[in-house]
Amino acid sequence: MAPSPLRRPVDTHRPLCYNRCVMALETNEPHKKPVHGVHVFGITGIGEIEPGDDLGAILADAAKRQQTAIEPGDILVVTQKIVSKAEGRVVDLSDVEPSTYASNLASWTGKDPRLVELVLRESRTVVRVEPEHGIIITETHHGFVCANAGIDTSNVPGDSKVALLPQDPDGSARLIRAQVRAATSGVDAAVIISDTFGRAWREGHVNFAIGVAGMGPIKDYRGTPDAYGTILRVTNIAVADELAAAAELVTGKSIGVPAAIVKGYEAPQGDGSVGDLLRDRSRDLFR
């Protein structure tokens, strides 16, 4: 029997969601909605990043080699560590001379005085100190509230070396976006710089966006109706953070995959800043 002209034979080379979308659309059945999906691919084969490396070109080339090339509309999520390495934001603790204040704070918290000195240098204020657990929460010069000013000792070669956050994460994202565009003959992709932070109210850590370029970091639902017609008044979704968290599922902390490509998500238009995600201190109930 010949197939119905309204239906296309199932394409076994396409994912199931594609076939379901095609069938729902071509049968013109109003009760069947298209199935939407978002795909996240880790970028492998990058190797060790050195200061001055063209990070966008390296990521674009690695993505092409593994047959997940960066395409228009994709979102590139890059972990902070390789951005800091490319920008020379790695410090040897043996080169750091701690101040008296840093030494006193270190003895109180049980931390390395040289690390505490760097934490203080990278911070505009100390938010809270928990000596029993050796925790120092600060507000960085960027406005991020996090442990140890975001300074990280993991995935950095050398026992005494640590990675600082990029000085201008939004600028880092814009640079990588421009580098990708140059390496791909004009492909325009949004870029998110991500890092791992703890969260108020919740246990566990999650990847957050610390830099954004080529997209709005927040999806604003205010003024739109919900499924029952109620007008939403306060709902803003931090989609840049959601995308950073989703990318962590394929990057991880110890598998050597420091970046990911998100395909199939239509990001909010605009060229926003991570500052849009930072709550003003006057509205911060924890400070």
In CATH, the number for domain 37-86+167-278 is 3.30.1330.100
> Is the pLDDT higher at 231 or at 24?
231
Domain span(s) for CATH 3.30.1330.100 in the chain: 37-86+167-278
How many other C-beta atoms are found inside a 10 Å radius of the C-beta of residue 287? 12
Query: Which residue in 276, 206, 207 sits closest to 237, CA to CA?
Result: 276
pLDDT at 199: 86
Record the pTM. Answer: 0.84
pLDDT at 29 over 70: no
- What is the model's pLDDT at position 3? 46
Mean pLDDT of the region 45-60 = 96
- When pLDDT is cut at 50, 70 and 90, the band that residue 224 belongs to is confident
Give the lowest-confidence range in 166-180, 230-244, 255-269.
Answer: 230-244
Single-letter residue type at 243: L
Cα dihedral 222/174/61/263 (nearest 10): 0
Q: What is the CATH number of domain 92-150?
A: 3.90.1660.10
Give the percent of the chain with pLDDT over 90.
68
For residue 282, what are the contacts with CB-CB under 8 A and spacing of at least 6?
none
pLDDT band at 155 (very low <50, low <70, confident <90, very high): confident
Query: DSSP code of 148?
Result: G
pLDDT value of position 9: 43
Q: Determine how β-strand 259-263 pairs with β-strand 202-213.
A: unpaired
Domain with CATH 3.90.1660.10 in the chain: 92-150
Which of 128, 50, 166, 223 is closest to 137 using CA atoms?
Answer: 128
Residue 8 has pLDDT above 60, yes or no: no
Terminal CA-to-CA distance of the chain, rounded, Å? 71
- Averaged confidence pLDDT in the chain: 87
Instruction: Report the b/e string of 123-134 with b at 16+ CB within 10 A.
Output: beeeeeeeeeee
